[in-house]
Amino acid sequence: MSENSCLPLGRFPYIHVREPEIAHHVLTRVIGPLDVTAAGKSSDLDWRLNRVDLGPVALLVGRTRGDWILRGESSCYLVIVPRSGHARVQQPHDDTQLAAGKVGVLISPATRTRWHVATEVSNLTVRFERAFLEAQLEALTGVAPSGMLTFA
């Protein structure tokens, strides 16, 4: 069994990261400028990610192990659906405990976000470029958004 077979999109580009500096670099390119720091005494990061890039939309399937915190602002809209495990996502007006089959989260661009993975979590994330999503909404409604979209 290949190491990549643990994620469902094994035939697509695969990233396996154990160093916080590399995780920061990858996250900055894929989602936006996020800091990656150890939350506990252990600094054992194990992050695996498949990415299917469809232009302005991307599917990201990942698994993170360890006690880690990601902080920063996304440059895109994100829909995060946990597949297994638990994580906590904090935004200025929301504190969400992600749970597989129960609770996911929407993140808007430029929203200060803190994501804490205390053990292990697997998730599916759909990333929408901001201009694309806003253009699609305008095409559907005939009205240009007056500001950044936010989800309640």
Q: pLDDT tens digit string along 101-127? A: 888 899 989 889 999 988 889 999 999
pTM for the full predicted model:
0.84
pLDDT digits (tens, 9 = 90+) for 10-19: 677 778 998 8
Question: Which residue has 């590399």 as its token pair?
Answer: 22
Q: In this predicted structure, what is the pLDDT of residue 100?
A: 85
